[in-house]
A = this chain, B = another copy of it.
């Protein structure tokens, strides 16, 4: 945790103070080994960032005096369309995507997406939000990416994606693509990352028909989890 995030209802703007228990209190004591008087980097979920001076700390409670005086870092202009992966990967990728500064995540079904994955508790809004917050705490950001779930590939490609792609470069990672992935693309990007096992040729054709460029990442077939930061490092400045 490189930044302690508070929900708007967790501090009192009149006194400038917040009293926190649980995970954040424990983290301050055990991981940061913080003491009364120390200053921690803090952020208000959906709002500003700043510093919190510790005015009290014991096993059960962390009390902070807060000053919010800075803006969170700008989001990266990236919308990620992600085939729902298996749950351990999904949990980690939500945090990673939030830490990378993704604006929006569309979680989608493809032909090779396991249907049973949609039944997991990990795709519930609260579970997703928790994983995103971990990524924001890591990256020192306060703004949650928007996340939406799309269980029908047909309506995603037919109705939802086309109006969103105006003015954006749309790229789909596909090992059999003819072109390599470009470096340093300017302007907003929509990235489609398919499932382990890949997209079907028919799915690639439907994405190409609405403007997605299929690109490859070399001869090596990579897992979804490293592909997302790899594309970020490559495409963004």
Contacts and interface: CB of A to CB of B under 8 A. Distances in A.
Interface of A: 2, 73, 92, 96, 99-101, 138-141, 181, 183-184, 217-223, 225-235
25 contacts: A73-B218, A73-B219, A96-B225, A96-B226, A99-B221, A99-B223, A100-B220, A100-B226, A138-B221, A138-B222, A139-B221, A181-B233, A183-B184, A183-B234, A217-B233, A226-B226, A227-B229, A229-B230, A230-B230, A230-B232, A230-B233, A232-B233, A233-B234, A233-B235, A234-B234
A128 to B, nearest CB: 18
A235 B96 CA distance: 20
Oligomer: number of copies: 2
A141 B220 CA distance: 8
Nearest to A217: B233
A77 to B, nearest CB: 13
A140 B226 contact: no
A97 to B, nearest CB: 9
A222 B219 CA distance: 27
A25 to B, nearest CB: 20
